Structure 1
Amino acid sequence: MMHIYLSALLLCFSRIFPAILNAPIDLNLFDIIAKLQSSSEYSTFSASEIASELPNQHPELAERLERMLTVLASYSLLTCSIRSNEDGNKERVYALSSIGQYFALDKDGGSLGPLSALIHRGYHHV
């Protein structure tokens, strides 16, 4: 279990990955996916299903989110699989991985999200 936490912590200190990590943190994507997983009979969700939970909607939101989710999956923050939708088309679906769970709020309200933001944005407003 400690190696999973260390993997998540290393992503916070990455110099290559911060923009793509901080965007979903700012959008609360990890919390949204965790909430969907805990309140639904399904455990994986498409980009459009996740996008529908975001407060600001626009026509390209799901498409943009899809690109972000794919990168997060490539860093093992999410799992990605393929399912057939109602139209019979294939779509990617995502879920929080064990590493990604460290970026969602836990039962005590803690997360690695603020640490990542602090490291990459600093604390100039203090």
Structure 2
Amino acid sequence: MSSKEAPVITTSHEDEEILNAFEVPSMAFVPMVLKGVHELGILELLAKGDQLSPLDIVARLSIDNPAAPDTIDRMLRLLASYSILSCTLVEDKEGRPQRLYGLGPRSKFFLDQNGASTLPTHMLLQEKTLLECWNCLKDAVKEGGADPFTRRHGMNVFDYMGQDPRFNDLYNKSMRTGSAIYMPKIAQHYRGFSKAKTVVNVGGGIGETLKTILSKNPHIRAINYDLPHVIATAPPIPGITHVGGDILKSVPKADVHFLKSVLHRGDDEFCVKDNPQREGPDAEGIRGPCTRLGVPCPKIRSARVQPVVD
């Protein structure tokens, strides 16, 4: 810069916009780093309560790679910036600065708390089987027809799960642990099952949702209904009968049919015919529908509901 050129001065608002613009393309790093930290066993190690340095972590996990401490330090610093972990700067015995890591305010949601955790859902969404589908999103939008998942794998996600036991297990764990987080709150306040005799959980996975409903309504006859390959992995649950079938063809008779995260699979005619009284706000906000862009998702629907609560 010559002495006659004026220096470029940006405002704090402009600086923030620039930083935010650079952050957007790097957003994918955070979930992938969290996935790696979980697979290495670091989250479980930190959950024992001690704040640890990267060297401590490498030693306790018996990792031989000499470059591992530096790489782990960079990974954990990223997660600390999102409050998933805590980071404390101290001095080692030689007076050199080092960082100690522990659990952060958000880490509790990624740890198993009596079966409730968002981690299985996180691991599912970072699964290669799903990530590959995003490369087909543009063509699915321009050309129509098959959704991104079907374009990538040659079949819809539900048929695919029937042929891939590992992916099927990941999906079922995600559904189970998600239900374990919010279903107890719903069951505590909702009174719509109090006079029911038979309740069918349509698309109920391996039974976690119905198990919670049954705990508050032990008088009901409970039927968990889902695809045969899902039911095949469902554990025995006292008071619940597991039945395999296809909700697009038929569902068992009951005076109450409970559906959760199911209607996105069908078209309008299916949803109205099988569920004429079901109206509810879209509780997923914007991120839930976006995760389904890569899988069969004709429409995200919303309407008003009159809740039955105390």
Q: What TM-score do you get using the length of structure 1 for normalisation?
A: 0.72
Residue 19 (str. 1) matches residue 32 (str. 2): yes
Q: How much has 1:114 moved relative to structure 2? A: 1.4
Letter in 1 for 2:112: L
SS of the residue aligned with 1:22? helix
SS of the residue aligned with 1:79? strand
Q: Give the number of equivalent residue pairs.
A: 105
Q: How much has 1:110 moved relative to structure 2? A: 4.0
Contact 1:44 1:94 in 2 (8 A): yes
Q: What TM-score do you get using the length of structure 2 for normalisation?
A: 0.31
1:84 corresponds to which of 91, 94, 112: 91
Q: How much has 1:105 moved relative to structure 2? A: 2.8
Residue 33 (str. 1) matches residue 46 (str. 2): yes
1:69 corresponds to which of 73, 76, 79: 76
Q: Relative to 1, partners in 2 of residues 1:69 and 1:78: Cα closer, same or farther, differing over 3 Å? A: same
Report which stretch shifted further, 60-69 or 49-58.
49-58
Structure 1 residue runs of 5 or longer lacking an equivalent are 1-14, 38-42
2:52 corresponds to which of 34, 45, 55: 45
SS of the residue aligned with 1:45? coil
Whole-angstrom CA distance in 2 between matches of 1:101 and 1:79: 12
Whole-angstrom CA distance in 2 between matches of 1:82 and 1:120: 31
SS of the residue aligned with 2:32? helix
Question: CA RMSD, aligned part only?
Answer: 2.0
Residue 111 (str. 1) matches residue 117 (str. 2): yes
Q: How much has 1:109 moved relative to structure 2? A: 4.7
Task: Determine the structure 2 residue equivalent to 1:100.
Answer: 107
Letter in 2 for 1:120: Q
Whole-angstrom CA distance in 2 between matches of 1:101 and 1:51: 23
Task: Determine the structure 2 residue equivalent to 1:40.
Answer: none
- Kindly name which structure, 1 or 2, has the bigger radius of gyration based on alpha carbons: 2
Q: How much has 1:91 moved relative to structure 2? A: 0.6
Letter in 1 for 2:124: L
Specify which structure has the bigger relative contact order, considering alpha-carbon pairs within 8 angstroms and separated by 6 or more residues.
Answer: 1
Q: Relative to 1, partners in 2 of residues 1:92 and 1:99: Cα closer, same or farther, differing over 3 Å? A: same
Task: Report % sequence identity.
Answer: 27
Alignment deviations for residues 45-89 of structure 1 (CA, whole Å, 9 cap, x no partner): 211112222243221111110010111111111111111111111
